Structure 1
Amino acid sequence: MIEHRGEYEKMFRLEGQLWWYRILHERVAATIKNYFGERRDIQILDAGCGTGGLLDFLRKLSYKNLNGIDGSTDAVAFCHERGLPVVLVNLNELAAFRPDERYDVIVCNDVFCYFEDDDLLNLVKALAHRLKPDGLLISNNNAFNVFRGEHDLAVGSGRRFVQSDFNQLMPDAGLRIRKATYWSFILSPLILAIRQWQSWQLRSGWIKPENVQSDVYLPGAWLNETLYAIVSAEAKILPRTPFGSSLFIVSKPV
């Protein structure tokens, strides 16, 4: 999404409201709390932080040592509007950025889909190298090619993942997976139907590639809250599910 200013503008406006972002941010915060309890002094890095919605959410929860990096000048500018300490960094060059700094938590959400295999391994190795010995790497990723649709094209996403991709990748990078689950399981039939319809429209020419739009839009308030309630309940009742449009992974150094 590095050149997609319009998508960053939508993200900036909607991250605090849209059900999907709210659920993701709460998942990240719950994971951090599960491992670090009530501590608020831990060092946190959001690598590929976009417009800073997660960092803003964690700041409101009183986390103090927050840092972010992103490869988009637009994204960094939006982060600065929020007053967040975010630096412009090409993630392909992460190894050269503040090489002596180590973090308790690194979050890298919906970033891996922009990297080919060799570059992705180098990125994950660089992230692992920045973790403290008992640190966490938290990563959310778009999942299953069957969910590929207009959204992927709009944000420039190159790939989708299944857990077996990370079962190979993480050990090669010096990490072990502690938790992995797909999510939006309950909504997956609806999401799948929408994405398949989008894909058919793209193939048939009903939607032109230059006119694609992402899924980052705010539905009516009642629908947004209903979707939030459904996926929030799923997270509580079904902590691990076998299918969904996203894959949430927590890893630690070996």
Structure 2
Amino acid sequence: MNPAEFRNIAVAEEGLWWYRGMREILFRELDRAKQGRTIETVLDAGCGTGALAEQVSQRYGWRTIGMDANATAMPWLRRRAVEAVQGDITRIPLPDGCCDALLSLDVLIHLAPGTESQAMREFGRVVRPGGLLVVRVAAFDWLRSRHSIFIEEKQRFTRTRLLRLAVDAGWRPLRCTYLNSLALPLAAFKFRVWEPLFDRTPRSGVGALPPWLNSALLGALRLEGAWLSRGLTLPAGQSLLLVAERPA
């Protein structure tokens, strides 16, 4: 990821609608998936500033390891109450079966096409049999934006492609759904009409919004979270979430 984005994320991730709403959805999914499982050690693979890794540790009491390949992330990560490791998700510097669960949120999109399979196999190597995997990625190539270019995003996924990637690497999918669906028409207009016509300059999309808009977009994600908490899925959206387990 573009190193310049780390500071933008650090400033925004506490209050910006996308981070708050996606955290709430993630925690609902983890609350469901962890039932009946023993989870002690979790790896956040591609953790950025480490804020989410720290929140996972505090919420669940798990030993949490935050790992990122970018040296720019290390000063941020070492401030957190988690173990900090610098490493690439295609060559994770941890032993086999050392984790009970692994999170990788919006990281596969930064890999060169063709290397995502190696990362998914590495996830399976470090997660013990019966362990959990949670992956989130950006969806649909046609939703690429000036923000995508700025953060050096290299690929996006469809549900079919993400499921195939997981199964081919030996994972058993438990759940796979699109996210950030209610704002999809607005995003399509912004990314496919407005930006190509009026604003092609690559720049971060992470920044302060008017409070009313931030609240409205957060409310949309919370509605989606309530829908997903019933075990339902969404047929299209700007992101994809996969929950899978490593077969025993």
TM-score, normalised to structure 1's length?
0.88
Asked if the contact 2:96/2:128 (under 8 Å) is kept, the reply is: no
Among 196, 199, 204, the alignment partner of 1:200 is 196
* Equivalence for 2:154: 158
* Equivalence for 1:232: 222
Tell me the secondary structure at the aligned position of residue 73 of structure 1.
coil
Give ranges in structure 2 of 5+ residues lacking alignment. Answer: none
Tell me the secondary structure at the aligned position of residue 76 of structure 2.
helix
Letter in 2 for 1:159: Q
Tell me the secondary structure at the aligned position of residue 125 of structure 1.
helix
* Equivalence for 2:124: 128
Once residues 121 and 62 of structure 1 are traced to their aligned partners in structure 2, the CA distance between those partners, rounded to angstroms, is: 30
Asked if the contact 2:181/2:238 (under 8 Å) is kept, the reply is: yes
* Equivalence for 1:91: 89
What does 1:176-187 correspond to in 2, within 5 Å? 176-187=172-183
Tell me the secondary structure at the aligned position of residue 248 of structure 1.
strand
Displacement over 6 Å in runs of 4+: none
* Equivalence for 1:216: 206
1:250 aligns with 2:240: no
Change in 2 beyond 3 A, CA 1:40/1:175: closer
Once residues 36 and 75 of structure 2 are traced to their aligned partners in structure 1, the CA distance between those partners, rounded to angstroms, is: 31
Once residues 172 and 37 of structure 2 are traced to their aligned partners in structure 1, the CA distance between those partners, rounded to angstroms, is: 24
Once residues 37 and 164 of structure 1 are traced to their aligned partners in structure 2, the CA distance between those partners, rounded to angstroms, is: 27
Asked if the contact 1:180/1:240 (under 8 Å) is kept, the reply is: yes
> Post-superposition shift, 1:100?
3.6
Once residues 236 and 33 of structure 2 are traced to their aligned partners in structure 1, the CA distance between those partners, rounded to angstroms, is: 25
Once residues 66 and 12 of structure 2 are traced to their aligned partners in structure 1, the CA distance between those partners, rounded to angstroms, is: 19
Tell me the secondary structure at the aligned position of residue 98 of structure 1.
coil
* Equivalence for 2:22: 24
Asked if the contact 1:25/1:57 (under 8 Å) is kept, the reply is: no
Amino-acid identity (%): 25
Once residues 104 and 148 of structure 1 are traced to their aligned partners in structure 2, the CA distance between those partners, rounded to angstroms, is: 33
Once residues 237 and 186 of structure 2 are traced to their aligned partners in structure 1, the CA distance between those partners, rounded to angstroms, is: 11
Once residues 25 and 174 of structure 2 are traced to their aligned partners in structure 1, the CA distance between those partners, rounded to angstroms, is: 15
Letter in 2 for 1:227: L
* Equivalence for 2:139: 143
Deviations 1:180-233, CA, capped at 9 Å, x for gaps: 1111111110111111135514xx8x534xxx2122112122321221112111
Once residues 135 and 27 of structure 1 are traced to their aligned partners in structure 2, the CA distance between those partners, rounded to angstroms, is: 20
* Matched residue count: 244
Tell me the secondary structure at the aligned position of residue 114 of structure 2.
helix
Once residues 224 and 47 of structure 1 are traced to their aligned partners in structure 2, the CA distance between those partners, rounded to angstroms, is: 28
Once residues 105 and 87 of structure 2 are traced to their aligned partners in structure 1, the CA distance between those partners, rounded to angstroms, is: 16
Give ranges in structure 1 of 5+ residues lacking alignment. Answer: none
> Post-superposition shift, 1:92?
2.8
Deviations 1:36-70, CA, capped at 9 Å, x for gaps: 24989621110000111211222331423111110
Asked if the contact 1:142/1:160 (under 8 Å) is kept, the reply is: yes
Once residues 90 and 184 of structure 1 are traced to their aligned partners in structure 2, the CA distance between those partners, rounded to angstroms, is: 28
* Equivalence for 2:3: 5
TM-score, normalised to structure 2's length?
0.90
Asked if the contact 1:177/1:251 (under 8 Å) is kept, the reply is: yes
Asked if the contact 1:5/1:74 (under 8 Å) is kept, the reply is: yes
Tell me the secondary structure at the aligned position of residue 177 of structure 1.
strand
Once residues 77 and 125 of structure 1 are traced to their aligned partners in structure 2, the CA distance between those partners, rounded to angstroms, is: 28
